[in-house]
Amino acid sequence: MQEPALGSPGALRDVREHTDAADRNKGPILEVLARVLPRRGLVLEIASGTGQHVVHFAQALPHLTWQPSDASTARHGSVIAWTAHERLANVRPPIVLDVRAWPWPLRTADAIVCINLIHVAPWAATLALLDGAARVLPHGGVLFLYGPYRRGGRHTAGSNAAFDADLRARDPAWGLRDVESVSDEASARGLACEEIVQMPINNLAVMLRRSVA
């Protein structure tokens, strides 16, 4: 039976969501991930959002299995639609994961990727993310964080300061975090800060690795 043409009354509605920011940063992020992620294994993506990131990474790194997740099921449809559109066999169906709700639905992962979450959540969510990563990751496993941060208590650009003010106006519990505070809290949980990479548009990529001892 011939499928209905796209846009015809019988065609399936395309529920893929899209953000320009994800399109802009997925390439630079992939360059770092290709270098720091393991050669094989399961990668848990926390706060998958639209699903643009996970399908881009899964296409480029087919040797890895990807587990998208989001605290809201409202975003799951877009992730599923992107995965189906790209016909990817190495992306699992998304799961509900709120970093503050333990136990997490996934008990083990070889690496964790978390993009643009920390600044749009309370500080308690950052601590819960680090707690969970310390439990889920194997020794030597990587937690990759990406987003805007302060360094030494100061904003790295005027645009970041304006963004921080806007976030705090929307929710006083939100805002850009000091990367040193995140690193210190991670270290206290056995996650050593291995590398910080300056990324486009005043963002940082932060690699934390669980102690091998």
- pLDDT tens digits for 71-87? 999 999 999 999 999 99
CA 151 – CA 163 distance, rounded (Å): 15
Contact yes or no for 90/66 (Cβ under 8 A) = yes
Residue 43 in this model has a pLDDT that exceeds 60: yes
Secondary structure class of 206 (helix, strand, coil): strand
Residue 28 in this model has a pLDDT that exceeds 60: yes
Beta carbons within 10 angstroms of residue 37's beta carbon: 22
CA 198 – CA 151 distance, rounded (Å): 11
- The residues pairing with 204 across neighbouring beta strands, listed in sequence order, are 147, 198
Q: What is the reported pTM?
A: 0.93
Total count of residues recorded for the chain: 213
Secondary structure class of 113 (helix, strand, coil): strand
Secondary structure class of 43 (helix, strand, coil): strand
Residue 14 has a pLDDT of: 87
Strands (E), 27-129: 41-46, 64-70, 95-96, 111-115
Q: What is the mean pLDDT of residues 130-158?
A: 97
CA 48 – CA 57 distance, rounded (Å): 12
The mean pLDDT of the chain is 94
- Give ∠ CA 98-62-118 in degrees, rounded to 5: 25
Query: In this predicted model, which residue has the larger pLDDT, 6 or 156?
Result: 156
- pLDDT tens digits for 90-142? 999 999 999 999 999 999 999 999 999 999 999 999 999 999 999 999 999 99
Q: What is the mean pLDDT of residues 34-44?
A: 97
- What dihedral do alpha carbons 43, 53, 15, 88 form, nearest 10°? -50
Strands 142-147 and 111-115: parallel
Residue 213 in this model has a pLDDT that exceeds 50: yes
Tokens at residue 162, please? Answer: 């304006």
Domain 20-210 has CATH 3.40.50.150: yes
Beta carbons within 10 angstroms of residue 170's beta carbon: 11
Residue 212 has a pLDDT of: 77
